[in-house]
Structure 1
Amino acid sequence: MATTETLTAERILAATEEVLRRHGPAKATVVDVARALGVSHGTVYRHFRTKAALREAVTERWLDRTSQSLAGLVTEDRDAGARLRDWFTALFTAKRHKAGDDPQLFATYQVLIGENSAVVERHIADLTGQLAGIVGDGVRRGTFAPVDPAATARAVFDATGRFHDPHYAHEWEQPGIEGEFGAVVDLVLRGLRA
């Protein structure tokens, strides 16, 4: 049985994810999370003051996994066009895995994302910030035409939404989707080149 001394926010979030996977967002409770950890629900509330705060934190953790997996591409010292292509490929791959590898949890997070628009806004800001870093580097090195990196990053992010916005998840396993993805990224890169 767990003790309160060893209970961390990370352990609570991991348990919450498992409870959500088992019960779904409508039925999962803080009591279920506490039971999974072998503690009282009051102990969970010491880390997360409300059920909403717990759900927000687990949603943010889920989204942050994607952001963290992409962050290294921003600072690599190589051609910005290649990095941009690799960044979008990694984003599309990550989103496809989230949707396809664990469809129950993906559906659960779709509900939670709807409840936590501020978390989603921060996630999008983080992703577009990463893109702006790559675009800005490409502009500085003369690989890309002179553009406002932040505005261009948002435009490019929006233009590629079909390949990372969860609303399009039902299309991500259709035949030919990789070719369509490649064509859009090629178009974006041609438009950015100096």
Structure 2
Amino acid sequence: MPPTSETLTAERILEATEEVLRRHGPAKATVVDVARALGVSHGSVYRHFRTKAALREAVTKRWLDRTSLRLAGIVDAEDRDPRQRLRDWLAALFAAKRHKAGDDPELFATYTVLTDELGGVVFEHIADLTGQLTRIITAGAGSGDFSVPDPAAAARAVFQATGRFHDPCYAREWTAPGIDEEFTAVVDLLVRGLSSPSR
């Protein structure tokens, strides 16, 4: 049974939009297609999202936020060793990106196009991720595990240094032989570089 204007929610629209994007790609997915998939008028969709760009921005943010939410639990585990939390966080980020690229390649390709179009959403996502890293590194500096004068600068450096394992432009390499060993080597180097000499 199609939703009515009273039962149609932004979340339901975003779910339908993701399915339309999966089927048609970003070039052919329109608000009319989303409305048709929901069995409502396109005006009903526009009541929640004023423009096609706003709808695309919201669905892209939702997709990126899934990764941030998955990683937040590691950041919040403040009773654990910061060095291990850093390792776990970087591994979870790599796993999340590989999962998206490998399990649903059509949708991953679609979102790669959308993120290129929607720089603001991507910058917010990167700021969120580097903010999470900053919290882990700050905790490590506070416990004496890490020796860094500026945790935020260190977090940005760690994020950039591991770009090969989370930036979508490297997605083709994520299944290459030896990639896991290369990831571990990079993370080991970064953790040693951050660690206090006494640790």
TM range (shorter): over 0.9
Deviation string 1:143-184 (CA, Å, 9 cap, x unpaired) is: 001321110000000000000000000000001000000000
- Scaled by the length of structure 2, the TM-score of the pair is 0.97
Q: Which amino acid aligns with 1:25?
A: P
CA distance in 2 between counterparts of 1:78 and 1:144 reads 14
Residue 127 of structure 2 is matched in structure 1 by 125
Structure 1 partner of 2:47: 46
Equivalenced residue count is 194
Residue identity (%): 74
Query: Any gaps of 5 or more consecutive residues in structure 1?
Result: none
Alignment of structure 1 residues 137-176 onto 2, 5 Å = 137-176=139-178
TM-score (norm 1): 0.99
Determine whether 1:28 maps to 2:32: no
Instruction: Find the aligned partners of 2:125 and 2:99 in 1 and give their Cα distance.
Output: 18
- Report the Cα offset of residue 81 of structure 1: 0.3
CA distance in 1, matches of 2:55, 2:71: 25
C-alpha separation in 2, matches of 1:65 and 1:15: 17
Q: Is the 8 A contact 2:101 2:108 kept in 1?
A: yes
The match for 1:64 is 65
What is the aligned partner in structure 2 of residue 187 from structure 1?
189
Please list the CA deviations of residues 104-160 of structure 1 after superposition, one character each: whole Å capped at 9, or x if unmatched. 000000110011000000000000000000000000000001321110000000000
